[in-house]
Chain A
Amino acid sequence: MTDGDYRHLYVVMEQEEGKLVPVSLEMLCEARRLMDDFNIKYSSNEKVVALLLGDGVKAISKDLIEHGADVVVLADNPELRYVRNTVYTKLIAQIVTDQDVAAKVESVDVGNFKKPRYMFFAADSVGRHISSTVLAELDSGLASDINKLVIEDLPLTHQIKTAGKPLIYEKTLEMYRPDFSGFLWTTILCLDNRNPAIERDYHPQACSIIPGVFETKQADHTRTGKVIEYSPKFDQKDLLVKILDRKIMKSEVDFDACKTIVSFGRGIKESPEENVKLIEQLASELDAEIGISLPLSKKPISINQTIDSKYFIADRVIGSSGRKVSPKLYIAVGISGAIQHLTGMKDSEFVLAINPDENSPIKDECDMFIKGKMEDVLPLLIENLKTQKKVVQA
């Protein structure tokens, strides 16, 4: 392997009807930060390449450059208006392995370009599927739902990868993934097999990135970059998959319409039915929408069909795997505050938490912390809300 084989960080953009999905710029800004550090550290000049596929999306290219892309590879074609997995996967795989594109990315011949060094996708219902199939096509590794990235030279001894010998893996992307509990961070690496018995190159090192975790920086209007127009060639067979209809659905749970959100978590478990009733009363007093933490959407607790299907659903999940909200008042009841949940609610204006455990992480993300069990606290709170309302009305 020479340094020319694998170069650059390719980032797959997402747009809907010509409008960028916010995670696209979040990924680009993080890509810029990483590659700026990379180029200083390794005295190199590798690029951030944004892949923009769609129909009538050329105008977005400028926005991508101003947010950190050195190069935009643009495939603009009516067949690309909506994402069809096979069409998109083949096209992305073609572009990122295209030597002519790579030569234009850098204007200098760096040799035998094979594949990108790194690749980013969005961890949403489009990016998750596309990243999986693109990496299956490119035959390399993919880490999903990442919220922290570091590039390092790592000394490693691994039974399979290095046959037990100590080796240095240069320019390795450490991909941090919060696990389902939200309390553990797993670092995933994509490594070539350097064990002679099973030798194999695994590039790009790729991941999908959780929407909402990286910050979108202000556009830098002075930045310039290159736009490479790519004419896609389609396999007619793939175009037999037809999008017949698309409807934008408003979720039945409309968090944006409420000033207050009351959320609950596994803390309801001691008397779930009674606790859900108390939460309903509290929400009704405050004219609030009701949210839940991610673990409850996996239905670990069953009350009855009506309550389960009303509350323990993905639409109500607040957090990085669900909705991001910023109400005036956020009340977290029986939620310990895993990082995924905090990501979804930390922009709320005022946060009240009710929890028996003062060491729960939610305490560091709230303005008022009522120490106590919800069974005891909620009735008092509801009663007071009622009496104070009467006073106001009188």
Chain B
Amino acid sequence: MTPLNIAVIVKLEPDFSEGNVSYNPDGTLNRAETKNILGPHSALAASAAFYSKVRYGAHISIGTMGPPNADLILQSAQQISDADETFLFSDRIFAGADTLGTAELLKTGILKMQGKMDIVFSGHRASDGETGQVGPQTAWKLGFTFLGNVIDYEVDVEKRTVRAKRSVRLQGFYDIIEEVEAPLPVFIAIDPSYKPVFNTASQRLACEKYKKEANDRAQNFKQYLKVFNAEQLGSDPKLIGLAGSPTIVFKVEKIPKGKAGRQAEVIDGSSKEEMVRVVARLRQALSTMVIK
């Protein structure tokens, strides 16, 4: 028995990196031309799980809901985390689910994984949907304490508790770093600024060992992969997919250009003379006293 049993949920997302991402002339994403990859937030969640493997010893299961070709992101996530098992939940009836329907399915999927979980990790949000709701909703359905925006965490394996630092941002206030302690099991959504650090020589040795193991496993990733459809999962068809989704997208439109807030003076960027005037205007803008 390993000290910790860990699950990670990940997502297939469009690759937003320059050269891979393709935009339509109107500035919107061209989905057909854009490749799909393991989302960057998902990758961070996988590296957070790997941290536990190195520090405490952990059995790691990774799951995703997606089309059949999403097995490739499970391979990427296994490469990062040295996962012991990977799970693809794939069925046409899952498609089109909103966050509630997705969370229900992921909960069912996590319950199919080996053993009772101590920690479930997810990314902060998906780069395409960007709601950040699936993590906390899955946590709620599992009945786990939800800790979001986690930038650092440590586990006390004896006491069965986790100590996490969270970054809380509120409009109109400075950021707050909150340190929280919670009994296991917990659900952790990893903040984009998370960075695992291995301090001691023995940690670095363990890190090397598991990285090598991760490489070997990822090369034979199909050996570790289990695929489930709706029937095999035993999910309630009324609670998943479109039927289990309260929300629908009613319409998509271009955001109308608002009323021009300002009347711009247009300057020819190649004219040196014009630039003298621009600089004078900037100096003036900076020196004016404004009474508010």
Q: Which of A142, A144, A183, A369 contacts B264 (CB 8 A)?
A: A369
Closest to A130 in B: B136
* C-alpha gap A193/B282 in the complex (Å): 58
| A186-B249 in contact given A243-B179, A248-B176 (Cβ < 8 Å) | yes
Contact of A191 among B131, B183, B248, B276 (CB under 8 A): B248
Task: Check B7 for interface membership: any CB of A closer than 8 A.
Answer: no
A185 touches which of B136, B147, B176, B253 (Cβ 8 Å): B253
Chain A, residue nearest B17 (CB): A300
Determine which of A180, A190, A245 lies in contact with B246 in the assembled complex, contact meaning CB atoms within 8 Å.
A190
Judge whether B136 and A132 touch: CB under 8 Å. Answer: yes
Q: What count of chain A residues pass the 8 Å CB interface test?
A: 113
The residue of chain A having its C-beta at the shortest distance from the C-beta of B287 within the complex is A328
Q: Which residues of A are found within 8 Å of B179, using beta-carbon distances?
A: 243-246
**A248 vs chain B, min Cβ distance (A):** 5
Residue of A nearest to B173 (CB): A16
Q: Are A339 and B139 in contact (CB under 8 A)?
A: no
Report whether over half of chain B's contact residues are helix, strand or loop; otherwise say mixed.
mixed
Q: Does B163 contact A (CB under 8 A)?
A: yes
Q: List A residues 39-96 near B (Cβ within 8 Å).
A: 82, 84-86, 89
Partner of B281, one of A158, A240, A368, A372: A368
The CA of A376 and the CA of B272, in the complex, are separated in Å by: 11
Contact of A349 among B100, B254, B275, B285 (CB under 8 A): B285
Q: Is A263 an interface position by the 8 A CB rule?
A: no
Residues of B200-258 whose CB lies within 8 A of A:
238, 242-243, 245-255, 257-258
User: CB within 8 A of A246: which of B146, B178, B262, B280?
Assistant: B178
From known contacts A182-B255, A349-B290, infer whether A329 and B285 are also in contact, taking CB-CB under 8 Å: yes
Nearest to B98 among chain A residues (CB) is: A141
Give chain A's interface residues, CB within 8 Å of chain B: 14, 16, 21-23, 82, 84-86, 89, 122, 124-126, 128-129, 131-133, 135-137, 139-145, 154, 158, 160-161, 174, 178-191, 193, 198, 200, 202, 211-212, 240-251, 259-260, 266, 269, 286, 295, 298-302, 313-314, 324, 328-329, 336, 338-339, 342, 346, 349-354, 358, 361, 363-373, 376-377, 380-381, 384-385, 388
10 of the cross-chain contacts (CB-CB < 8 Å) are: A21-B173, A125-B168, A136-B136, A142-B133, A144-B131, A248-B175, A301-B17, A370-B267, A380-B272, A381-B279
